[in-house]
Amino acid sequence: MVSSIALLFLVLFLTSSARSFADDFIFSGFKRASNLSLDGSARVTNDGTIQLTNETRRVMGHAFFSSPVRLLDNQHGSSSALSFSTIFVFDIITIGTGSGHGLAFVMSPSKTLPQADSGPYLGLFGAGNNGNSSNHVFAVEFDTAYIPGMFNETNGNHVGIDINSIISNISTPAGYYSNDSNKKVDLDLKMGKPIQAWIDYSANTRVLNVAIAPLSVPKPGRPLVSYTIDLSPIFKEYMYVGFSASTGKLVSSHYILGWSFRTDGIAAPLDISQLSIPQPPSASSSSNSSSKALAIKIGDITFIATLIVVGTAISIFFYLKQRAKLAETLEDWELDHPHRFRYKDLYKATKGFKETELLGRGGFGQVFKGVIKDTGEEVAVKKISNNTRQGIREFIAEIASLGRMRHRHLVELKGWCKRNEDLLLVYEFMPEGSLDTLLFDGKTSATLSWQQRFKILKGVAAGILYLHEEWEQVVVHRDIKASNVLLDSAMNARIGDFGLARLHEHGTNPHTTHVVGTLGYMSPELSRTGKPTTSSDVFAFGALLLEVACGRRPIEPDAPPMQLNLVDWVTECWARGELLGAADPRLGKFYDGEEMELVLKLGLVCCQSAPEVRPSMRRVIRYLNGDENLADDVSLVFSERESVNLASGDSCNSSCGIISTSSLNKGR
């Protein structure tokens, strides 16, 4: 009996472990979708469909799910692609003869596809990067144009698999296999009626299957395309998923009506009855409009003409005045750095940096909510003023480099703008605000649960590990704190504000000596050396661990003397054997005691005064995940020789001695 129960728990554990990387979402229409990123000609229509292109020549449109999804499993020492499944309904509407050029389901490391071009490139690639292995782009194209002798196309109505290139690895005429007769039925992609598509990739068999059919036909048992490929070398650990479409000399409107996606499983089916069907634009011409125009009296024409002239003059005056207000002069070196926004675009996005759009302010500037007009994307714009003394050219060079980082627990730094003495940083907008606000703002309606807090802490740890070890350079954030931890719509933690971050190569030491940071989070060695390191980030994370668990700020000026410094107070609680007494009283008893104890102890371990005894972020994550026992490594982390016996009454703060092993054991 016992062995049967143990086996059951083992199966459940393995099943949950296999599902730990799963991402899934479903859109039965997009009218209220807030987690989409659109650019180019893409927009969400009033009916709730995504219109990627319209009847405009040589345009392209992209629509991505805002957050990246995990597509590589790195747990076993080697990277292997995860299984994924997606279902979507698309509609290609063409007015007149000819169409162009088609749409594609795409997976990319970035939501902004570099060098992408319209026309036959479908908004995926361009002549400068087509075929480059560094693209790391996977796409399934639904192409409605044919260029003889190019791109491995079978005809002007085909489905193809594209790997880093618009030249398809495999291409086949569009159609589906009947479930009744198993015979292929031709399907016109541009017939102006919705078509459902299924794309499934198995990590075990490394087989990619693609099927399409009209809405009235269930999923075909036999796929249109079945292609064996290992996507592991193509995928990055985190990728963005979405759609791309383009027009050329000929035009079509490309629509996405609904979309379901899942990793490590089968995507949920779409409810077809909830989808809005786009209608072809009606030919709008009135045969009697000219006759009505001729009926206008000469006097009325003169009056209208006068109004037009006066109105035009006034408009030109205000236009020139506004243009002068928004004018900016670029230095030559600014053109060498990517991710630059135009000042007037950010000015319009934030309604002229209006007070009503202000999200917050701090020592380094103000943050405004903005909506980029061309894409409808929500952003946060941080405005830093009087920054000329900080070496702004080098600063922007680093910001441009940081803009290439992508991780699900980092706020995406989308770009920058410099105007006179103002530096503006453009970030992804986080709808749930900062962790600091949710913890301490009395206006919030509910207290963060322990499950939410523990999930947030693990997310922050994963983001810091990426900065320290997993990106191409070592990034020392220098200002890890609750107000720089932002939360997306699913309450996932994202580390923001890289305005203080500094880069250096792996294996080298950072060279900056300018002390910055926030009191309570700054490690004691910074006041002596002025050199931030990954270890000083670990100290700040330790303070954050205690802050989240205790519901107290690292420094409380109005608190009693023994509670002024959070590290000191938790240390005293531990030494008295009352560690859980430091838990946030707002949680009551609704928390996991073992997790709470782990977080409090780990916070003190990270906040040791000697940087060499603090754990790395990789070890911190192993502690949080339960892969290593913190108690097992106490003797390695703490030195009895340098200890201070708190039980004897000696005072200690975050800048003095190291906690003794005996004190640790007593507090367990």
Binding residues for ATP: 383
| Catalytic-role residue among 162, 200, 479, 497 | 479
Give 172's Cβ-side CA count (13 Å radius).
18
Length of the chain: 668
Distance CA 227, CA 626 (A): 40
Q: 622 vs 137, 461, 462, 548, CA distance in Å?
A: 32, 10, 10, 19
Could you give the CA distance from residue 426 to residue 385 in angstroms, rounded to a whole number?
Answer: 15
What's the CA gap between 506 and 207, in Å, rounded? 37
As a dihedral over the C-alpha atoms of residue 72, residue 76, residue 78, residue 82, rounded to 10 degrees, the angle is -20
Residues placed in the known binding site: 383
Token duo for residue 610: 């000697």
Give yes or no for a contact between 209 and 226, defined as CB atoms under 8 angstroms apart: yes
Contact 172, 68 (CB under 8 A): no
Q: Cβ of 297: how many Cβ atoms within 10 Å?
A: 8
d(CA 634, CA 612): 14
Q: How far is 184 from 418, CA to CA, in rounded Å?
A: 58
50-53 and 253-263 beta bridge pairing: antiparallel
Q: Determine contact, residues 187/195, Cβ cutoff 8 Å.
A: yes
Which amino acid belongs to residue 573?
C
Answer whether 605's CB lies under 8 Å from 630's CB. Answer: yes
List the beta bridge partners of residue 158: 143, 173
Torsion sign, CA atoms 506, 511, 517, 523:
positive
- H runs (alpha helix) in 330-475: 343-349, 392-402, 435-440, 450-465
What is the gyration radius of the CA atoms in the chain, in angstroms? 29
Q: Is 479 a catalytic residue?
A: yes
Q: Which residues carry out catalysis?
A: 479
